[in-house]
A and B are shown apart, each in its own frame.
Chain A
Amino acid sequence: MRAAWIIARLTVAEAARRRILWVLLALTLFSVFVTTWGVERLVSLGREGPDPANELEIQVAVSQVLILVAFMFSFVLAMTAAFLGAPSIASDLESGIAHAMLARPIRRADLVVGRWIGLAAIVIAYASLSGLLEVAAVRLVSGYSPPQPWLAVVFLSGQAVVLLTFAMLLSTRLPAIASGAVCVVLFGLGWMAGVFAGIGRFFDAGPLVTAAEASRWLLPSDGLWRGTIYALEPSVVIAGIVGVGGPRAEANPFFAPTPPPTEFLIWSVVWIAAILALATWSLSRRDL
């Protein structure tokens, strides 16, 4: 395990030395600034004029904008995770860096787990910093704070770690670009499956719902995204939308009236551990 820590530290050092961390930080500050400016304008203009919106309307509007910002951010985070994970093993194999390191008395699992720890730390730090900074900035300009911002960050991070782990599995067998592309496409399809599941319920399309739900378990990224929405959704919105639409309100891909089931959360953790073990096994079985 000591070798895994050495490689994890090396991974974080690489991200810092190659300016990946600084680029992510700059992107975070820019995104937070732009979106906060938008929210501030929305709130200021909403409170002005001959027919100003009441405070509840403003809070509801800001909560929905924040969910859409989170959606944009979850996409950026997913891309970041996929493109950090995709070259993590493949590039080391192509350059011969892996050959030199694996000729030392370390296990191949040390390389995979070390890389994963380092990259997961970067992704989680990025998600936490960006998410909480956005929430704090929006609160400053609007007075609105989502009900469970920390939980939203946990779900966002979980979604990114799912994609990171999957990209690393692909990276043990495929070139970096192919691994990244496959991961991004599957992330998009996973999100669409969630949309299909909601709309399928609306139309009582049983087989469609079953297929879409199955895909959510195969790649738990969309299920965790639903958790992010739930953590950001104020109870007044949940009560209002469910009151109007009933169970069919779930057809809205930006609405989640309930948190992900506990068994799904347990499955997500098991899924990440299993895919990481599979990545280790995959690298161990191949000739370098």
Chain B
Amino acid sequence: MAEAPTDAPVIDTHGLAKRYGHTDALIDLTLRVEPGEVFGFLGPNGAGKTTAVKLLLGLARASGGGGTVLGAPLGDRLARREIGYLPELFRYQPWLRAREVVELHGRLRGVDGGGSTSSGDAAAALELVGLANRADDAVGGFSKGMQQRLGLAVALLGGPRLVILDEPTSALDPVGRADVRSIVRRAADAGSTIFLNSHLLTEVERVCDRVAVVDHGRVLASGRIDDLLGESSVRLRITDFAAADVAELRRFGRVSVGEDGWFSITGLDPERVPDVVAAIVSTGGRVHAVESGRVTLEDLFMRLVGGGSDEAASGGAPERPA
């Protein structure tokens, strides 16, 4: 494996394509994931997300285009020493104990002398995902959520430079999802780059630095979440508010007046919403409702993929105006 400079992209693909028979699973995937970031790869089912992951890992062969992972060509065997992977649909050997699964992957990781892990690393990985007290239980008795936690332990084992997580929270309850968010952030803080493949939009919005939205095998949008979501805004319903006092609101942002006493202020700092309310009250106005009007990732996602996915709507509670 070529040793890539530390600031070189961890994933760099150009026009990556994959065709299965007459079906284009991926048409033109051009991506760049920088070291240390948490990158969200979003798309509805069938968008090509898992296909992209398989190409990055060499589990499938690209029909066109190319790229590098950790500075090595796609599928390079030795580069995989520094990659942790949680597959989407998987089941570990049900007859193995959780500790044995993690140790097995530690041994496979170190077959060529690099990145070997100790039994202490296995115990630490299980502790990290909350399975320390189930380490000697057979995996066959695990719930789907516990299997997913185990998969996360396997993926994070030994602190790999790149961690690819394919739908890591799909089987987890809200507590489990919060745990995973925290684990992912900690792994990123420890220096790993995280490639998070998901259709659970709230999860991605909360944990990722940058995202790419993919559908029908193409990247529809990519960038920092703040840049993609644009300016924040707030909607307020106000009564006893004189038209002359609207000028008072303009110092917070662009103001538009709607029906039934609704006002919108666009481009304001979300931290200043209490100041807006105080300003209205000081003029004698009465505030009946305040709603954050920022575009959510779900809004953006639905706009980009055309709202054709039920799963997209399951991404959590959107924060949007009524």
Contacts and interface: CB of A to CB of B under 8 A. Distances in A.
Interface of A: 2-3, 6, 10, 14, 17-18, 95-97, 99-107, 110, 287-288
19 contacts: A2-B112, A3-B108, A95-B91, A97-B90, A97-B92, A97-B93, A100-B85, A100-B90, A100-B154, A102-B59, A103-B80, A103-B85, A104-B80, A104-B111, A105-B78, A105-B109, A106-B111, A110-B111, A287-B54
Interface of B: 20, 54, 57, 59-61, 77-81, 83, 85, 87, 89-93, 95-96, 104-105, 107-109, 111-112, 114-115, 151, 154
Contact of B54 (A17, A105, A110, A288): A288
Contact of A2 (B61, B92, B111, B154): B111
> Which 7 interchain pairs have the tightest Cβ spacing?
A96-B90, A287-B60, A104-B108, A103-B85, A288-B59, A3-B111, A17-B95
B96 to A, nearest CB: 8
A254 to B, nearest CB: 40
A264 to B, nearest CB: 38
Contact of B77 (A17, A96, A107): A107
B104 A6 contact: yes
A227 to B, nearest CB: 36
B59 A6 contact: no
Contacts of B114: 105
A124 B107 CA distance: 27
Contacts of A18: 95
From B87, B115, B154, residue with most partner A Cβ within 10 Å: B87
Contacts of A107: 77
B87 A99 contact: yes
Nearest to B105: A104
Interface of A is mostly: helix
A105 B57 contact: no
A101 to B, nearest CB: 6
From A2, A10, A100, A102, residue with most partner B Cβ within 10 Å: A100
A96 B111 contact: no
Contact of B92 (A3, A100, A103): A100
B159 to A, nearest CB: 15
A6 B89 contact: no
Given A10-B104, A17-B96, A105-B79, 11 more contacts: A2-B111, A6-B108, A97-B93, A100-B151, A100-B154, A103-B80, A103-B85, A103-B87, A105-B77, A105-B81, A107-B77
B194 to A, nearest CB: 15
B314 to A, nearest CB: 23
Contacts of A6: 104, 107-108, 111
Contacts of A97: 90-93
Contact of B59 (A2, A103, A110): A103
Contacts of A99: 59, 87, 90
Contacts of B89: 96
Nearest to A95: B91
B20 A287 contact: yes
A21 to B, nearest CB: 13
A6 B110 CA distance: 11
A287 B26 CA distance: 14
Nearest to A2: B111
A17 B112 CA distance: 28
A2 B78 CA distance: 14
Contacts of B87: 96, 99-100, 103
Nearest to B63: A287
Nearest to B85: A103
Given A14-B95, A97-B92, A100-B105, A288 B60 contact: yes
Contacts of B151: 100
B80 A105 contact: yes
A175 B297 CA distance: 41
Contacts of B104: 6, 10
Given A3-B111, A103-B85, A105-B77, A287 B92 contact: no
B111 A105 contact: yes
A105 B90 contact: no
A90 to B, nearest CB: 14
Contact of B108 (A17, A95, A101, A288): A101
A104 B83 CA distance: 8
B90 A95 contact: yes
A72 B277 CA distance: 90
